[in-house]
C-alpha cells in the first residue's frame, strides 16, 4: 500500500514531467517570437526536468518540494501576466489565451496542490518503513 505522501510525490513528479515536455516542445516556437520568450521557455523546461530528477531520487528533501511548488506557482503566475498585461522585457505584449496553455496550467495547479499538501501536513515526502526480521529483537 502506498502512503498518501507517496502518491502526492508521484503526482508532483508526473506534473513536472508533463510541464517540462510541453515547455521543451514549445521552446523553438517561442524563440521565433524573440530571445526573451525562447529563453524563458528553455529555462522552464530545464528547471522542470531537473525537478523530475530531484524528486525521483530518494529520499526527497523538503527543499526540493518547496522548489517544485515555487516553480509551478511561478509558471502559473507568469502565464497570467503573459495573457493579461504581458511580461516586461521577456514578452511585453499580452498573448492570446491558448487551450494547450490552459490545460498545462490546470495540470501545474494539481502539482502545486500536491506540493502544498505535502508541506502543510508535515508528512515525510517518502514513507519510511522499518522492516523487522522474524526472530530478532531489534
Q: In this structure, is residue 127 part of a structural domain?
A: no
15-43 per-position pLDDT tens digit: 999 999 999 999 999 899 888 889 999 99
Specify the number of domains making up the chain. 1
Q: In this structure, is residue 126 part of a structural domain?
A: no
Would you mind telling me the total number of residues written for the chain in this entry? Answer: 138
Q: In this structure, is residue 36 part of a structural domain?
A: yes
Q: In this structure, is residue 132 part of a structural domain?
A: no
Q: In this structure, is residue 114 part of a structural domain?
A: yes
Q: In this structure, is residue 138 part of a structural domain?
A: no
What pTM value is reported for the model?
0.81
What are the two backbone dihedrals, phi and then psi, of residue 81, each rounded to the nearest 5 degrees?
Answer: -65, -40
Taking CA atoms, 56 is separated from 5, 42, 86, 116, in Å, by 14, 21, 34, 18
Q: Given CA atoms 37, 39, 45, 48 in this order, what sign does their dihedral have?
A: negative
Radius of gyration of the chain measured on its C-alpha atoms: 18
Q: In this structure, is residue 131 part of a structural domain?
A: no
Tens of each residue's pLDDT in the chain, 138 residues = 456 678 999 999 999 999 999 999 999 998 998 888 899 999 999 999 999 999 998 777 889 999 999 999 999 999 999 899 887 777 677 888 999 999 999 999 999 999 999 998 765 555 444 555 666 665
**Which residues are within 8 A (CB) of 107 and not within 5 positions of it... i.e. 6 or more apart?**
15, 18, 19
87 lies in which domain range?
4-120
115-125 per-position pLDDT tens digit: 999 998 765 55
Q: In this structure, is residue 136 part of a structural domain?
A: no
Count Cβ atoms within 10 A of the Cβ of residue 84 and give its class: 0-12 exposed, 13-18 middle, 19 or more buried. exposed
Match 489565451 to its residue by C-alpha cell.
97
Amino acid at each position: 500500500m502506498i502512503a498518501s505522501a507517496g502518491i502526492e510525490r508521484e503526482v508532483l513528479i508526473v506534473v513536472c514531467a508533463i510541464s517540462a515536455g510541453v515547455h521543451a516542445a514549445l521552446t523553438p516556437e517561442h524563440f521565433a517570437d524573440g530571445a526573451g520568450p525562447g529563453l524563458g521557455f528553455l529555462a522552464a523546461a530545464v528547471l522542470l526536468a531537473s525537478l523530475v530528477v530531484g524528486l525521483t531520487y530518494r529520499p526527497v528533501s523538503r527543499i526540493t518540494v518547496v522548489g517544485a511548488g515555487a516553480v509551478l506557482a511561478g509558471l502559473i503566475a507568469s502565464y497570467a501576466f503573459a495573457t493579461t498585461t504581458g511580461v516586461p522585457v521577456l514578452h511585453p505584449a499580452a498573448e492570446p489565451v491558448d487551450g494547450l496553455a490552459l490545460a498545462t496550467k490546470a495540470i501545474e495547479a494539481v502539482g502545486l496542490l500536491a506540493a502544498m499538501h505535502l508541506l502543510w501536513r508535515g508528512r515525510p515526502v517518502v514513507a519510511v518503513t522499518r522492516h523487522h526480521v522474524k526472530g530478532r529483537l531489534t
